[in-house]
Chains A and B, each alone.
Chain A
């Protein structure tokens, strides 16, 4: 054994003999005592004098950090950078952030526990450890228990270590040669494999790139991209008349509008004035009547307007009993469609203005045919 060695392994057959040997070996002070076992042995941490694993604290800190990260991210996005009110909740209402905070906490904590254990505390992956190339490794990961005396210095006395392990009851001894301080992956074969994988990825990537470049791909989800539809003003064989655009069905009421008076005047009789009789409505009606109706029907609605003489027309006397008995809808129909010499005023007056005019005409009729009780002063 002229070679320098930093590690001597002693194989034990049972966990009991392993545990019994640990204090003896530690007492020799020849080097660090390390155990290699196929599964965790209980009480071995205390026997080897290992410090408590700091993993719990690391996980706690990272878990809290995860919660804070998630909260900060969610709050900044939802309340600061992109405040969109959903469900009537305030932009910064934090209650909805809890599920994701929980998930991110678990995510941070898990990766700390798993990768922190492997990478930070156990310093894995590491393929160059001498034990991995020892003969004993096949027993270690199977059913034997190994104690090792290890040292980092040249002064390590491997002969004494062998003797100590024998004295402690090891059934077999293996002196490990000094590790060659080769880099991370000791095996060329592994390096070659990784290189092979890299080349394979490169070739596959380039292959796919060229293929997609030269050959057109099928377009995915065709019926979501090419949706059959009719453009306005275009013909269509779907309808009998060959037009893509069709007239709305009779009686259609445009959104945001009131039913309008189409058809015959008698049919319009059932339309009800939708506007309330308020001061504002009468004011709208008065203005519209003044602008559009007064020239013919007169300021009092009696058919004596300023244009009557000039044209020789005979506008309706709205004060006549016939028109006082008209339902609102019939007056409205005339405003929309016109009658006799009167043209349609649909283009000049909006829905609301027309119905306001109807109200105003009613007011004129009542004013000209007032009864005694109408004179009672109504308290303002």
Chain B
């Protein structure tokens, strides 16, 4: 027996759920959603998101008809909304993997209740992200040329190009996220399979649950696989946005060519991702009556992560200024001055305000526990992080080494339409997911409920 140590009240882990939650009540609460018809707000919501989606599809169709000339991209700003949106959406995805993988390795048990939704958002965000590289190549029907495959032209890809690294990184990220998400879903789908009475649903769930029967011999390998996947995904989540940042950092454009880019991009991705997760979870918590499972503590902890990331972003911005000054390089000076006072100076200050100043109100407990302030911050961060990529890409490109080529970039309606469309795709998928699959990883939450683990086997310190 270990000696009992009296732990002060303040150091004890707060309850993971509110009220009495039993495995049975959890199933009845969470798994019942797919079995009932959605409420009216859901139809209104999906009507709005589907409209956005179709507007976006329309503009993508127009792009296919017309060509890339339908966008505002023009020399020297060859990368604009397409790459901004790509980096933005890949970044949004990072919160999901962070919650599901890194917090799993850190044994943060509270992550069990929100991991499923965050992982789903990862997948949807990456789906939105991959649209952009595909459509911006100009001839999307030969986009598969991005992959090194034996072909009759006897050509291979250039393995020294960070753009090719990006192809591998994003594809790996999507495959791994999907695998992680699906493996986590299997036991939950098995629960749904065994409680549904609808024959059609039963068939679908039976196939999707691959005959999962909860055998101890299976759980043993399953847990091991989950742990390994968490470890692998942790390395991956840090690498993906680093590789995305290489697209910029390995070039010689002033404002891109910086060693701080990989960690700065990863922090920014987690920052934006957590804001999106907070935004969506607040809505889910309220409209789906999940207040007992997604507690204020979850939101509080996530707001703290946002605050911490905001501070890292502030440091990165200062380092960008410091590098520009310390390098004694006139191009870097000019690039930095452009951010704070150029044609797009407003975008620079919008980025700094939204990402650095506004999140500071999360230092107050009141703000961290108020829907108004946390949503306010989350929206500000989402806007700020989108504009951060705008600042990095457009400001750096529109005035680089060759003054005769300078040009002010102006986006077109098509650019905005496609951006709106990706928000439509993302939220449509989120809304569909909320109705057809378990929004909370019931199996994982069951395992951390009080009394879920045998009492003679130590206490519940390992999950």
Question: Could you list which residues of chain A lie within 8 angstroms of chain B, going by C-beta atoms?
Answer: 14-16, 18-19, 34-45, 48, 50, 53, 55-56, 59, 73-74, 77-78, 81-82, 84, 86-87, 89, 96-97, 99-100, 102-104, 106-107, 109-111, 113-114, 116-118, 121-122, 124-129, 131-132, 137-138, 140-143, 187, 189-190, 193, 218, 220-224
Contact = CB atoms under 8 A, between A and B. Distances in A.
Contacts of B199: 189
B124 interface: no
Contacts of B193: 141
What is the predominant secondary structure among interface residues of chain A facing chain B? helix
Given A50-B220, A138-B194, A143-B24, A99 B246 contact: yes
Interface string B135-172: 00011110000001000001111111110110011001
B187 interface: yes
Nearest to A129: B213
Interface in B418-434: none
B75 to A, nearest CB: 16
Nearest to A124: B210
Contact of A35 (B66, B212, B215): B215
B64 A40 contact: no
Nearest to A220: B64
B172 A137 contact: no
A15 B453 contact: yes
A99 B169 contact: yes
B213 A131 contact: yes
A217 B169 CA distance: 34
B229 A124 contact: no
Nearest to A128: B211
A42 B457 contact: yes
B322 interface: no
Contact of A50 (B64, B155, B217): B217
Given A99-B165, A129-B211, A142-B195, A111 B22 contact: no
A126 B213 CA distance: 10
B228 A50 contact: no
Contacts of A142: 23-24, 27, 191, 194-195
B456 interface: yes
The size class of the interface chain B forms with chain A is 35 or more
A56 B447 CA distance: 23
A117 B190 contact: no
B211 A38 contact: no
B360 interface: no
Interface stretch (B232-240, B271-279, B392-400): B232-240
Contacts of A218: 65
Contacts of B233: 110
Contacts of A116: 225
B216 A74 contact: no
B446 A38 contact: yes
B228 A143 contact: no
B219 interface: yes
Contacts of A143: 22-24, 27, 446
B351 interface: no
Contact of A45 (B220, B243, B246): B220
Contact of B211 (A41, A102, A126): A126
Contacts of A107: 172, 175-176
A36 B214 CA distance: 5
B67 interface: yes
A42 B168 CA distance: 37
A132 B232 contact: no
- 6 closest A-B pairs by beta carbon, nearest first, are A143-B23, A125-B210, A117-B225, A43-B457, A35-B216, A39-B447
